[in-house]
Amino acid sequence: MRAFVAVRQLISNPPVDRVEQLENQMENLRLYIEEVFTDYNDINEDTRVQLELINQTLAELQVEKEEAAKPRKPVGFKSYEK
């Protein structure tokens, strides 16, 4: 946003070497946009990793639940009916 404001100011108040300053502002804008998209991709990568961890944990919990639902062998002495 700052780069757009700077370009607008350059257009409204032309300096002596207007083309060079516009080129500099456009280069600054290009670098800024690249930086923003790099940060955005980093955030997406972090989010993707966190979602994978959540899915892995849910899968492990599902396996534990299935194991807990299986019938167990009774522990202790058997009592026989007469």
Give the span between the Cα atoms of 20 and 25, in whole angstroms.
Answer: 9
Give the span between the Cα atoms of 39 and 19, in whole angstroms.
Answer: 30
> Which residue pairs, CB below 8 angstroms and at least 24 apart, start in 55-59?
none
- 12-49: pLDDT as tens digits: 776 567 778 888 888 888 888 888 877 777 777 778 88
- What DSSP assignment string belongs to 30-41? HHHHHHHHHHHH
Q: Look at residue 71 in the predicted model and tell me its pLDDT.
A: 78
Mean pLDDT (the chain) is 79
Is the CB of residue 16 less than 8 Å from the CB of residue 42?
no
